[in-house]
Amino acid sequence: MLILGIESTCDETAAAVVSDGSIVHSNVVATQVDLHAKYRGVVPEIASRAHIENIIPVIKESLDKAGCGFDQIDAIAIACRPGLIGSLLIGVTAAKTLAWSLQKPLIGADHVHAHLYSVMLGPAAQSPIFPAVGLVISGGHTALYRLNSFLEVRRIGATIDDAVGEAYDKVAAILGLGYPGGPIIDRLTASGSNPVDFPRTMLARDSLDFSFSGLKTAVLYKVRGHKGRERGPESLSEADRANVAAGFQAACVDVIVKKLRRAIDRTGAKSVVVGGGVSANRGLRAALARFEVPVLFPHTEFCTDNAAMSAGLAHLYFQQGTFASLDLDAATQSEIAV
Ligand code: KG4
Ligand code: ZN
């Protein structure tokens, strides 16, 4: 069974053709990074306009690369929440139009839920042992889940302020580095031989929530002095910059690992699945390489936003006969229950 997935929740326009929930025949992503880089973050209006330009060529390219036509597609899957409303509407409208004109079933997927499913994509994919703890760490989301299966998911914790990827992007900006900041800081960390000691925000003793805004401010004050206004990032040597990056990454990784441990204690989980852009992080992968339970990461290609993860998750909905109607709405919030 072939499913065409479409993704436009934030700043990547993507389409993919996936069969049987894990065989990825094509995975096309038109990134808008260059358009947003000078603003050091996603500008919603620019993102929506770029989706309009990209969506049809990206869908066509995904079919060409998969070597199939619309007639061979069994269903259209769309990430219809959560995200930026203007961005979501472009993908949702394209998916509904295709489903209606081709008379194919439409399947709506939650983007965060699809990030959790991304460990199942590609030839190296392994199924988690359930119950599992799910961790989504990206530019827009940082949350923990309990999974009894890929279709039975509950949220058990979430950030009370910034997402961890957002903190990476802000810290890169504070250090005068490029955008997106995650991969740059991850690389720089390797040369930080004397990491700065930054605070770890754990919240209440038993809390599964996260907070990264205090850490971000601690980095700002360290780099730029009192109230973040005394000096610029140019005052730092290369070694200072690497030590700040390494200290920041160590603080993020420490908090994530401790919260995962709490979540496993709370749920009795037998494995962990991780998804979202920050799941590409080498420091986190190294820290979780010898964890108490197996930790599954997506192949790097499927960490950041893509449409294959929604097409894969949609396979499960197809099997249980869960389809969307043509009045499917885009929504800014995830609907995964607490
Ligand atoms: O999943 P994603 O593409 O978009 C959202 O759903 O938000 O995640 C993008 C985020 C960005 O904040 C980026 O800086 C971060 O993922 N990221 C990383 C790494 N690669 C991407 N953060 C830390 N280490 C990385 N290697
Ligand atoms: Zn995402």
**Which atom of ligand 1 lies closest to the CA of 83?**
6
Give SS3 for 81: strand
Give the mean model confidence (pLDDT) for residues 54-83. Answer: 98
Of 118, 169, 304, 309, the one to substitute when testing ligand 1's pocket (max ligand atoms within 8 A of C-beta) is 304
Show the tokens assigned to 29.
């992503």
Q: Ligand 1: which residue has its CA nearest to atom 8?
A: 277
Q: How many whole angstroms separate alpha carbon 266 and alpha carbon 146?
A: 10
pLDDT score of 232: 86
Q: Which residues line ligand 1 (CB under 6 A)?
A: 10, 138-140, 165, 168-169, 180-183, 186, 276-278, 280-281, 304-305
- What's the 68 CA to ligand 2 centre distance in angstroms? 27
- What's the 284 CA to ligand 1 centre distance in angstroms? 13
Buried-state track 84-119, b at ≥16 Cβ within 10 A, e below 16: bebbbbbbbbbbbebbeeeebbbbbbbbbbbbbbbb
The bound ligand whose nearest atom lies closest to the alpha carbon of 173 is: 1
**Which atom of ligand 1 lies closest to the CA of 282?**
26
Residue 239 in this model has a pLDDT that exceeds 90 = yes
The bound ligand whose nearest atom lies closest to the alpha carbon of 279 is: 1
| Residue 40 pLDDT grade (very low, low, confident, very high; cuts 50, 70, 90) | confident
Look at residues 1, 27, 3 and name the one whose alpha carbon lies nearest to residue 13.
Answer: 27
Give the mean model confidence (pLDDT) for residues 55-67. Answer: 98
| Residue 230 pLDDT grade (very low, low, confident, very high; cuts 50, 70, 90) | confident
Centre a 10 Å sphere on the Cβ of residue 239 and count the other Cβ atoms it contains: 12
Give SS3 for 225: coil
Q: How many whole angstroms separate alpha carbon 9 and alpha carbon 334?
A: 11
Give the mean model confidence (pLDDT) for residues 139-168. Answer: 97
- What's the 285 CA to ligand 1 centre distance in angstroms? 14
Show the tokens assigned to 304.
């950041």
The bound ligand whose nearest atom lies closest to the alpha carbon of 304 is: 1
Give the mean model confidence (pLDDT) for residues 160-179. Answer: 95
pLDDT score of 110: 98
The phi and psi torsions of 211 (rounded to 5 degrees) equal -145, 125
**Which atom of ligand 1 lies closest to the CA of 166?**
12
**Could you tell me which residues come within 8 angstroms of residue 38 by beta carbon, excluding any fewer than 6 positions away?**
none
Give the mean model confidence (pLDDT) for residues 141-164. Answer: 98
**Which atom of ligand 1 lies closest to the CA of 11?**
4
Q: Ligand 1: which residue has its CA nearest to atom 7?
A: 139
Residue 41 in this model has a pLDDT that exceeds 90 = no
| Residue 38 pLDDT grade (very low, low, confident, very high; cuts 50, 70, 90) | confident
| Residue 167 pLDDT grade (very low, low, confident, very high; cuts 50, 70, 90) | very high
**Which atom of ligand 1 lies closest to the CA of 179?**
14
Kindly report each contact of residues 290-294 with a partner whose C-beta sits within 8 Å and lies 24 or more positions away, as own/partner: 291/257, 291/260, 292/261, 292/264, 293/129, 293/264, 293/269, 294/128, 294/129
- What's the 138 CA to ligand 2 centre distance in angstroms? 6
Q: Report the mean per-residue pLDDT for the chain.
A: 96
**Nearest 10 degrees: CA dihedral of 135, 141, 147, 153?**
180
Question: Is-contact 13 32, C-beta < 8 A?
Answer: yes
Q: Are strands 132-137 and 271-275 parallel, antiparallel or unpaired?
A: parallel
pTM over 0.85: yes
